[in-house]
Chains A and B, each alone.
Chain A
């Protein structure tokens, strides 16, 4: 009997009713794995609370799948309760600097920071536990650094370069600063990469407006509106079997955010190839994944919103060909 009583560690966070309610709402709209998502939300709220209480000196930003704390990104891992000595990691795992292991005692509205690992350490741990069954990797809980102070120490003091998570291919291409488009300018780099600012001064006047208004009309038909003040650029994606038109629109937003809409449309042919795919990702995960499917819809599009300086990578796949573009970013200061 005595074994059944457990001690709550000092680093336990008590969640408020409002926080519980928020997590419930976040998971409400999901059909599958609702409880898991609910627990994950509770874990994130707990980590945010803990950071706010211990380290108000660190700035925190929330994204869909991770937290940005100071110079680092952080992903929360929780199975809810620790029933076992191992934990299942989904495959793929978001690429962040730190992974924080959290136990959630839902019935007591408590969250415990149980451990952390940085990107390199986690990869080492995963490699030494080759247990991949159906996209699930199993690693031991004991493999995590149990001291939450170590995590805080690194968040506050470590040089970000000490833990690099950027995939090599993306690091190779310099980012294009599309803030310049708002000043009706193109990067010197961009000019060599076939981007054309719209309305395209190089096209005959009659053509310029038609091109843009066609796009706007088609999007509006589908319920999407590009802000009228947005500036766009166009480039052609060409391969042996044909070509596609790629448009990027950007518009100013309250500091420090920026918005971008990417549109893929037919270019040389009346329709684009079936199963043309548009993907947009940030440093850690895919945000947009849209396919034209068999319906040969007139165009595909996706929209992202980011922080100034945050890059996005656009990939278009069509007819067995893949175009990975240089990352687009928005830096009004440079």
Chain B
């Protein structure tokens, strides 16, 4: 029963940017009177029928009851808040943002401004303008409006989190693939109709997009396009002698239903492709050497040639850094200087991403992560190194003659480079090795890269 208070408390952002819950006594009184019977008759353990409540509040709102409208508005604010929490919970850690980063875009009802007359349209206003209780719950509708919020999507896109539109999904699904997917649980007639609808979507909407060279997020089809689609459909149906008249609204709903089903199918099948899929599945790509069975042999090989390895490592680090700088210089705005500074700060001073961000003038730490792309950088250095070793150590060609061998050699090399107690450097050298300024032991990779960057004039350390 606790969530009933969502109808008379507003979840909003205060001046300090924090979440705050404001109760509204008048709304509470109104709600409790309106739903007196409902509240009294309820078993405390029984969940409330929100849809029934919302339907009634909605009808009152339409009849210009401002208290009823406020109740809906408050409920919406809690749903928006929940949506942000969910998105942040799923993606925030990896993609570098928190729920408060999201509130600023969508938790935009301050409870005070005159609701209808304001020129700025809040999410709640958008929801109430378009909500139809006959078609679904308010919760689902709020979710939908949050998803479509342009600024929120833009922010999330920059963080690497993204939502495909229905229209993009429809564009990219071939008609015969749709048939295969739907055949599982639809009648042949339904499958045929869905096929024809998708075909007309491709012929009109997708063709328009292509011919007019439209870029960016797909917008919903407009009235003109929907009309042309119905004509196209009628032309397709007639040869069979079946007339199939669809209203524009109906067509739009059917398109969205097809998109929804395809989306669910995509989600279900894409989850199967994630690395957590069982390795016993014969369809899953197996690493050539899953346990790196040849690691000992590779270690022996790489250790034996430690001199060449270290020399090549230094050279590889310089080459890859130079290549990166060259590529980043061409971007607009150029990013080469920022990259070099960030790379040095990370490897030579052991600075954290957030401190680096502050020092190079980037607003967020994940922008540093995205700029550096350290995993890829290290991979490129290893690959340059292996390529050089190949030329210098001619009699070890067997490692380069088989993809599986090559990949596991690379894995072994990675182990050596990332190790903090280096296997390659003799005792005396290890003592003389300069520890990082932060006092933490460096990996072999970091220490050699740091020396290379010094050589390139990366940073003055004092």
Contact = CB atoms under 8 A, between A and B. Distances in A.
Given A1-B83, A142-B283, A159-B397, A152 B380 contact: yes
A150 B172 contact: no
Contact of B157 (A79, A108, A150): A108
A142 B272 CA distance: 8
B275 A24 contact: no
Contacts of B163: 4-6
A143 interface: yes
Interface in A1-50: 1-12, 17, 20-21, 24, 27, 34-35, 38-39
Given A1-B83, A152-B383, A161-B401, A84 B323 contact: no
B63 interface: no
Interface stretch (B14-22, B49-57, B258-266, B448-456): B258-266
B270 interface: yes
B410 A153 contact: yes
Given A6-B161, A152-B380, A107 B94 contact: no
Interface residues of B, number: 75
Interface residues of A, number: 63
A79 B270 CA distance: 14
Interface in B389-422: 390, 397, 400-403, 406-407, 410
Contacts of A2: 86-87, 90
Nearest to A38: B210
B239 interface: no
A158 B400 contact: yes
Residue among A10, A27, A144 facing the most chain B CB atoms (10 A cut-off): A10
A185 interface: no
A334 interface: no
Interface string B226-268: 0000000000000000000000000000000000001101110
Interface stretch (A54-62, A275-283, A309-317, A320-328): A54-62
A156 B162 contact: no
Given A115-B285, A141-B273, A159-B397, A4 B263 contact: yes
B36 to A, nearest CB: 33
A43 to B, nearest CB: 12
B172 A81 contact: yes
B187 interface: no
B273 A85 contact: yes
B327 interface: yes
A223 B461 CA distance: 70
A57 B323 CA distance: 8
Contacts of B218: 107
Interface string A142-156: 111110011011101
Contacts of A141: 273
A53 interface: yes
Interface string B352-378: 000000000000000000100101100
A141 B283 CA distance: 8
A149 B215 CA distance: 30
Nearest to B402: A162
Nearest to B322: A56
Given A3-B267, A83-B181, 15 more contacts: A1-B86, A10-B373, A35-B202, A81-B164, A84-B181, A85-B273, A107-B165, A107-B217, A109-B216, A142-B277, A157-B383, A157-B386, A158-B400, A159-B400, A162-B401
